[in-house]
Amino acid sequence: MNKTLIVGIYEKTTNNLIVKVLKNANSKNLLQFAINHISSKCDVHTDSWKGYRDLKSVFTKHETVNHQDGYVSKTGVNTNQIESVWKHIRRTFKTHIKVAKHHIQLLWNCLWAI
pLDDT attached to residue 31? 92
pLDDT attached to residue 27? 86
Q: What is the pLDDT of residues 32-64, one digit of tens each?
A: 999 999 998 899 999 888 888 999 999 989 999
Provide the pLDDT confidence category of residue 108 given band limits of 50, 70 and 90.
low
Q: Per DSSP, which regions of 27-102 are E strands? A: 44-47, 62-65
